[in-house]
Homo-oligomer: A and B are copies of this chain.
Amino acid sequence: MIVTLAGGVGAARFLEGVVQVVPPETITVIVNTGDDITLHGLYISPDVDIVTYTLAGIVEPVNGWGIAGDSTNTLGMLKQLGADTWFLLGDRDLAVHIRRTELMRAGHTLAEIADDFRRALGVASQVLPMCNEPVSTHIETDAGLMHFEHFLVQRHAQDRVLGVQFVGAEAARPTPGVLEAIRDAEAILIAPSNPIVSVGTILAVPGVQAAIAATPAPVVAVSPIVGGAAIKGPAAPMLTALGYEVSAYGVARCYAGLIDAMVIDTVDADLADGIRALGIEVVITNTIMRGLAEKRALAQAALDAAHQVVTK
């Protein structure tokens, strides 16, 4: 089994490569739920949905979230009825949130629901929300403390980041299967996701970090920072706020002590020695995923790095 720790769009694109390289049914994806938010009374789990839609082949390809070709008639009417519609939700996408909310009220866990949905959508890989308990990533900013989605989507990441809180993380428990998957994996791949608010959130669930530290499996991270900038999303101000430099080296520092190897982009080759000095093997390759061939190559590079660690 291959275990991948995943945030949203970057991770999902990486996973599109991983499923080309190893049988999809041998992959377990542990997904960040810190971005989860209730809007219009509906429970929305953005990263779980992005990963599921992407692996189901129905994700909207340009943005990487939502469902391809989806309409927005419900949201338009919600707006007409006075609802605040800053978070874009398509009609098909809303069905997922409606059904999830109904099933949660009926007592089903996030993990049970995610498993139901990925099967219904034909996804062969396991999709595991990191925990069933509510964890909510909040960003400390100069405009106050706010939910991650308010920071990112509603306010367009315009506020100065001062810190990050994972509200509820201390009371969370890894989803059944998460610790076992990490223990028994052939390799742990940390997707090119935000190290603070995607992977960091997963690592904040008590027991996960220790399980990764203890697993005999090689642990390989793919840097989401290329040439000193995030490929997507607000990683840069978060790294800065937490005292890391905005670079593959900064990401390596986040993961120091936890990972065995790191895949960085060719443009960051000059950072390799610094990363190696942290006790991390380095693989240098193209990490920009423009198409399926590049996704596949990046996945192969990460798996090769894992193999190198094991055979070394």
Contact = CB atoms under 8 A, between A and B. Distances in A.
Interface of A: 40-42, 67, 70-71, 73-78, 80-83, 90-96, 98-99, 101-102, 105, 116-117, 120-121
A101 B71 contact: no
Given A70-B73, A77-B92, A92-B76, A82 B41 contact: no
Contact of A82 (B71, B90, B120): B120
Q: How many copies does the complex hold?
A: 2
Contacts of A95: 73-78, 80-81, 83
20 contacts: A40-B102, A41-B105, A71-B73, A73-B73, A73-B95, A74-B91, A74-B94, A74-B95, A74-B98, A75-B95, A77-B96, A78-B95, A78-B98, A80-B95, A81-B99, A81-B116, A82-B99, A82-B120, A83-B95, A94-B94
B81 A40 contact: no
A264 to B, nearest CB: 39
Q: Secondary structure of the A side of the interface?
A: helix
A74 B89 CA distance: 11
Given A81-B117, A117-B81, A73 B102 contact: no
A121 B80 contact: yes
Most buried by B among A70, A101, A102: A102
Contacts of A121: 80
